Homo-oligomer: A and B are copies of this chain.
Amino acid sequence: MRHGQGRAGRAAMAAILAGGMAVTAVAQTAPAPKPAAAQDGTVALDGVRVPLSDLMSREGADYLRHLIVDKPFGAPAADIRAERARQDGIMRDFLAPMRRRYAVDIAEQRIGGIVTDVVTPSAGIAPENRDRVLINLHGGGFTTGGRSASLVESVPLAAIMRIKVISVDYRMSPEYAFPAGSEDVEAVYRALLKTYRPEHMVLYGCSAGGMLTAEVLSRFHQRKLPMPAAAGVFCASLGALTAGDSALLAGPLNGFTFPPPPPGQRPAMPPMAYLAAARADDPQAYPLVSPDTLRAFPPTLFITGTRAFEMSAALNSHNALARVGVESQFHAWDGMFHGFFYNADLPESREAYAVMAKFFATHMAR
């Protein structure tokens, strides 16, 4: 054990160990300065201090401290053009060191009528990947990230796997709304099906791109298109972006507080503008609502972190796939936050790339 602690703390912790369920007995042995829980089971975290996780790399801890203390990204802009420019700037700053680390070539190519960025490894495509391709759907809340977050999500995998990655510049809000993005990805996929076998393709993305990955798979199922070999739903779930414990904890764990919700209400993520008109029970928007849809999913990898607001929703989706017998994998890194692997300088990010690369390579047909 790395760190010491007070006698009372030791007694409380020892009590936890006295038996599986004894965890709840500890309240009676530790002094509670105020009532810790309401009658409805809501717990109050007053007085709780959470230091940086001791499971992070040195680089991960330094970076999380920087994010929490220095808040380097500024505030979102109200105007969509200004906000896109701001986010593109943030992405450029992630991309620059990434391109020094990972040698790739990037070319614009229109596929199925849709603009894409095609990222290929400078070292050449590996022989076993000559007939394979990854399709990336970028993050950015369905409002930003076109051709910027795209590259941040594509460059590492193209170089590490020595494979072609095609990132789709799909339509977003506020100009467009669901299912415009799905239509664009379908157009690209149909065009690629003329050259690639579906079992040689993988679909993946982070945040809005993770949600869109799931939405597009649902669309393929409905339209009887063949499924790709595998999917990567990163920084997202198969349903709403957030739910459960992590939705409430991620903000405070990253150093900011939400105003409390109205009495009796649960703080909740508002629907994204892109999905505002979609029905909550539409499997094309939220595949999680339909076990029949999930049953058609290819093997799926979830990537998140313990300080990411989507973690609980991603866990829940992973369990939902298990319920219907679909293979899935879940990996999260302690202390890591929404979209952490945009920063390729973190060892945690490079571990995540390795997990992604292995999962995708394993599931594409020879």
Q: Contact flags (1/0) for A11-30 with B, using CB distance below 8 Å?
A: 01111111111111111111
Q: A34-42, A124-132, A154-162, A220-228: which lies at the B interface? A: A34-42
Q: Least Cβ distance of A363 to chain B in Å?
A: 14
Judge whether A219 is part of the interface by a CB distance below 8 angstroms.
no
**Using Cβ atoms and an 8 Å threshold, which residues of chain B touch A55?**
243-245, 312-313, 316
Q: Least Cβ distance of A129 to chain B in Å?
A: 20
Judge whether A97 is part of the interface by a CB distance below 8 angstroms.
no
Residues A217-248 near B (CB distance < 8 A): 235, 240-241, 243-246, 248
In the complex, which range does the number of interface residues on chain A fall in?
Answer: 35 or more
Judge whether A115 is part of the interface by a CB distance below 8 angstroms.
no
- By the criterion CB–CB under 8 Å, are A342 and B5 in contact? no
Judge whether A181 is part of the interface by a CB distance below 8 angstroms.
no
Judge whether A72 is part of the interface by a CB distance below 8 angstroms.
yes
- How many chain copies does the complex carry? 2
- Nearest residue (CB) in B for A246 is B306
**Using Cβ atoms and an 8 Å threshold, which residues of chain B touch A36?**
252, 255-257
Q: Least Cβ distance of A266 to chain B in Å?
A: 4
- By the criterion CB–CB under 8 Å, are A25 and B235 in contact? no
Q: A102-110, A191-199, A329-337: which lies at the B interface? A: A329-337
CB contact under 8 A between A51 and B266, given known A28-B74, A87-B19 = yes
Given contacts A1-B280, A16-B251, A32-B256, 10 further A-B contacts (CB under 8 A): A5-B262, A6-B262, A12-B258, A18-B140, A20-B140, A24-B72, A37-B255, A40-B51, A46-B48, A322-B351
